[in-house]
Amino acid sequence: MIWIIAGAVLVAVASFVLYGRAGYYRRIFSEEHFHEVHSTFLDLLQTQSQGAAHQGSTAPSSALTSAGLVLGVTYRAAGDDPMLHVSLSQQARPTTGAVANRFAFVLLCVLSRNRLRLDPFFTASGVHHLVFAGKLAELALNDFPVAFAAYHSGYRPLPFVLQALEPTEDEAQRH
């Protein structure tokens, strides 16, 4: 009898956890959330580009979406090496490859009319980064219907690689 009760409790807990997780992913991958991410990215990019026009580079700007995706944007248009840096992470949980890849790809679709070099990487903390270099002075940006259609028709995972931002202890001791 105890085994039956324990089994029923285990099934109930597993169902609750899986249903909650499925609801989270339904929300984060909904078209409405992709639209929110698109709008948030454009807002952050506009703020960054206005600051860069006056100062040459800006401090990072970030925003949290309703589904818990954190977007960070840094923009440097001046100098010989203009750069746009975007970071993606999930609030209060590890950033999954599925979330990072899908939202990174939709951001690529927003920027697809520009000839930019891309360096996608993630750090040990789980934050995923997109570093764009090239002609950033006047970015051509796709509106949401165009970017979302391109995402749907051409999605493929990005080649994120692990990159250390700080030297490891062994590397620091060697120098």
Which residues are 133's β-sheet partners?
83, 117
Residue 8 lies in a domain: no
Q: What six digits make up the tokens of 59? A: 């401090």
pLDDT at 166: 63
Can you give the residue range of the structural domain that contains 105?
27-165
* Residue pLDDT, tens place only, 23-48: 888 999 999 999 999 999 999 998 88
Q: What percent of the chain has pLDDT over 90?
A: 58
Is the confidence at residue 79, as pLDDT, over 80? no
Amino acid identity at 134: G
| Cβ atoms 124, 166 nearer than 8 A | no
Residue 134 lies in a domain: yes
Is the confidence at residue 113, as pLDDT, over 60? yes
The pLDDT mean for the chain works out to 84
Kindly state the helix (H) or strand (E) to which residue 149 belongs, with its residue range.
helix 144-154
Half-sphere exposure of 130 (CA within 13 A, CB side): 23
Residue 174 lies in a domain: no
Residue 7 lies in a domain: no
Is the confidence at residue 54, as pLDDT, over 60? no
Our count of domains for the chain comes to 1
Residue 14 lies in a domain: no
Residue 130 lies in a domain: yes
Residue 3 lies in a domain: no
| Cβ atoms 165, 85 nearer than 8 A | no
pLDDT at 93: 85
Q: Higher model confidence: residue 7 or residue 103?
A: 103
